[in-house]
Amino acid sequence: MPISSHILISRLTWLCLCLMALPSFSWAANSATIDSYQKGNALYEAGKYQQAGKKYLDSFEQGLHSEELFYNLGNSFFKQENYGEASLWYRRALVLNPHMPEPRQNLRALKNRVGLLEFENKGYLKLLSHFRDNELISTLTLCIWIALLSLAAALWVNKLRPWRALLISVSILFALISVASILALKRYRQEVSPDNRAVITSANAVAQTAPVPDAKTVIELPPGSEVRIVTDSGPWQYIDIPGGIRGWVRSEALNLLWPPQATQTLPDKSNQPAG
């Protein structure tokens, strides 16, 4: 027997909800990974920040990718006075969890300490910066499904005929929200997404007018500063700099924000001040 329209719509609705409920992909952590992470925590509490950082990096290389691990890595670099790497890992923690307050607080402390440069998201871009890419896609998908299901119910479910005008209005409303969401997602990927961003990790980085060693300096780039890569030219990167500036910087002076890659810790320092 053919499936009636209201049963079909009901099944489509359940399919939509199931797709929305699927968990995002995450890396599994085995017992050895958890052991390295816990040892890192113990070493950090003991004030052995460089050794703690190595254990955290072991956990990362073994497959543990979490905002807590990235935040702890940032703290271990902060304690070693490696402010560029600290900023990098704090920002990576925020990629995984934009709602996590601790990395934002520590980035503000870094900005006060070293004067790092950051892009300022204004208006709705500031709101979008608190969401992940998959959250925006999920919202868009939900709006599209609501628009389609409302329209289908209005056109093909006879029992809902008295509500047809309301259902068509709901469909139009969510169709408009879907269009706005598509435009917002496009802007997000251009200006907020971590995919084209990098962090200055060198302590003596400068942006120059040309990709040659003796070119004039455009601006000094404090460690931990945020930039956008415009052109990748191998040993040199042409970058956007906060404040509407562009220049060339050596590739070794920065690290891509995403996807995360392992980093080497600095040697131990004696008599380190607390961060």
Output phi, psi for 247, to 5 deg: -175, 175
Cβ(147)–Cβ(178) under 8 Å? yes
> How does pLDDT run across 83-116, given as a tens digit for each residue?
999 999 999 999 999 889 999 999 999 999 999 9
Q: Which of 271, 83, 43, 270 is nearest to 57 (CA)?
A: 43
Give residue 133's pLDDT band: very low, low, confident or very high (50, 70, 90).
confident
26 contacts: CB under 8 Å, gap ≥ 6: 65, 66
**What is the predicted pLDDT for the residue at 265?**
43
- Mean pLDDT over the full length of the chain: 85
Contact between 221 and 151 (Cβ < 8 Å): no
SS3 1: coil
The domains of the chain are located at 31-114, 126-191, 196-256
Is pLDDT larger for residue 79 or for residue 5?
79
Radius of gyration, CA atoms only, the chain: 24
pLDDT band at 195 (very low <50, low <70, confident <90, very high): confident
3-state SS class at 207: strand
Name the β-bridge partners of 176.
Answer: none
CATH class of 31-114: mainly alpha
| Predicted confidence band of residue 268 (pLDDT cuts 50, 70, 90) | very low
What's 196-256's CATH class?
Answer: mainly beta
